[in-house]
């Protein structure tokens, strides 16, 4: 058992993305337009099953329906915490992908309004950066299912960029 653990650690250390800093890994993924690679760097996003892609000129995150994501089996409807986590990750992906940052953003606050139940179907999310300062970014996030004009939730988040000097 001990040899298997050592072997796994050695394998992880030999991965090119593990040997780099997180921001270097993100830059390499951006250079190769590997949106899905970004998901692999964030275990929570990976466990939720989030996918990310470019749709037109916007980054859209996708949450395929999974039975384990149901919070209210009576309706059935998605768990509210899952929807909030999905939207928060959409904002983080957007900030990391669209701007050249010196540090990873940290959530300062996140406020969400649930507008209708998230049904048992694929959910989408998009982030708009309202203000990008040297230290803080303000984002509006929208989540929807079949119709983007009928969001299931909207959110507003502030993210600490520290002493970053955003470029872009």
**pLDDT score recorded for residue 1:** 39
Per-residue pLDDT of the chain (168 residues; tens, 9 = 90+): 344 333 333 333 444 444 468 778 888 888 888 878 878 888 888 888 899 888 888 889 999 999 988 888 888 999 999 999 999 999 998 998 888 887 889 999 999 999 999 999 999 999 999 999 888 999 999 999 999 999 999 999 999 987 655 555
CA–CA dist 60, 119 (Å, integer): 19
**pLDDT score recorded for residue 6:** 36
Taking phi over 0 as left and psi of -120 to 50 as alpha, with beta for the rest, 103 belongs to beta
**pLDDT score recorded for residue 11:** 34
**At 146, is the secondary structure helix, strand, or coil?**
coil
Contact 152, 118 (CB under 8 A): yes
Residues 6 or more apart whose CB falls under 8 angstroms from that of 54 comprise: 33, 35, 60
Transcribe 69-104 into DSSP letters. Answer: GEEETTTTEE-HHHHHHHHHHHHHHHHHHHSB-SS-
**pLDDT score recorded for residue 12:** 37
Give the count of beta carbons closer than 10 Å to the beta carbon of residue 132: 17
**pLDDT score recorded for residue 163:** 60
Which residue from 100, 93, 87 is spatially nearest to 140, judged by alpha carbons? Answer: 87
**pLDDT score recorded for residue 155:** 98
Bridge partners, 53 (sequence order): 60
Contact 79, 69 (CB under 8 A): yes
The CATH homologous superfamily of the domain defined by 2-160: Hotdog Thioesterase (3.10.129.10)
Domain ranges of the chain: 2-160
**pLDDT score recorded for residue 87:** 96
CA–CA dist 115, 146 (Å, integer): 14
Helices 22-31 and 80-98 cross at an angle (nearest 10°) of: 70
Q: What pTM, to 2 d.p., does this model score?
A: 0.79
């Amino acid at each position: 058992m001990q040899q298997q653990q050592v072997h796994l650690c050695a394998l992880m250390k030999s991965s090119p993305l593990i040997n780099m800093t997180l921001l270097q890994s993100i830059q390499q993924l951006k250079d190769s337009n590997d949106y899905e690679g970004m998901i692999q760097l964030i275990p929570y996003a990976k466990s939720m099953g989030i996918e990310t892609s470019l749709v037109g000129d916007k980054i859209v995150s996708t949450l395929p329906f999974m039975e384990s994501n149901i919070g209210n089996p009576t309706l059935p409807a998605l768990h509210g915490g899952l929807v909030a986590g999905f939207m928060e990750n959409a904002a983080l992906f957007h900030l990391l992908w669209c701007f050249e940052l010196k540090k990873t953003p940290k959530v300062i606050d996140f406020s969400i309004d649930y507008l209708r139940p998230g049904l048992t179907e694929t959910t989408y999310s998009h982030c708009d950066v309202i203000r990008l300062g040297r230290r803080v970014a303000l984002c509006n996030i929208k989540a929807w299912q079949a119709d983007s004009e009928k969001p299931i939730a909207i959110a507003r988040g502030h993210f600490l960029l520290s002493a970053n000097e955003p470029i872009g």
